[in-house]
Amino acid sequence: MSDAYLVPPEDTAAAAIEEVEAELGLFDDWMERYQYIIEMGRKLPPFPEDWQDDAHRVPGCQSQVWLEAVERDGKLFFAGASDAAIVQGLVALLLRVYSGRSSAEILGTSPVFLHEMGLVKALSTNRGNGVEAMAQAIQKRAALQA
């Protein structure tokens, strides 16, 4: 498995969501939260340039977003990238929740947490639609594996 795939620190998607909510809750306003999300994106493993093509592109995103997945030992590991800093951070957030999980866990983890965190509402309409498109692409990939 390439070093591009994210192995999250949390054992479950639910634990990752809880941890991200706690981390974002440390900040007083959305500008500080955006900065934190951008920092998350900067820490993503490098995404290979030869994957930055139409085959890996996520439709429905204003910015360019690419995802790749590999199945290993019954779990899906994702790699991702974007050409926009805030979107790269949103990719990192989603991968932290969904990467390294079984298809059943991915499919059982609704992206509704993006709304519950207030994230979709805090983003521009296009960015909100884009992060939902990314979550749908991850869910669609897991459905193929199930």
Distance CA 99, CA 8 (A): 7
pLDDT of the residue at 1: 58
Q: Output the 3-class SS for the chain.
A: CCCCCCCCCCCCHHHHHHHHHHHHHCCCCHHHHHHHHHHHHHCCCCCCHHHCCCCCECCCCCCCEEEEEEEECCEEEEEEEECCHHHHHHHHHHHHHHCCECHHHHHCCCCCHHHHCCHHHHCCHHHHHHHHHHHHHHHHHHHHHC
pTM of the model: 0.95
pLDDT of the residue at 25: 94
Distance CA 97, CA 90 (A): 11
Here the tokens at position 28 are 């007083």
Backbone torsions φ then ψ of 13, nearest 5 degrees: -60, -40
Residues 6+ apart with CB under 8 A from 21: 113, 117
pLDDT of the residue at 124: 86
Distance CA 137, CA 66 (A): 10
Active site residues: 61
Distance CA 31, CA 96 (A): 21
Q: What is the mean pLDDT of each run of 10 residues along the chain (146 residues)?
A: 86 97 94 96 95 93 92 96 95 97 97 92 87 95 88
pLDDT of the residue at 78: 97
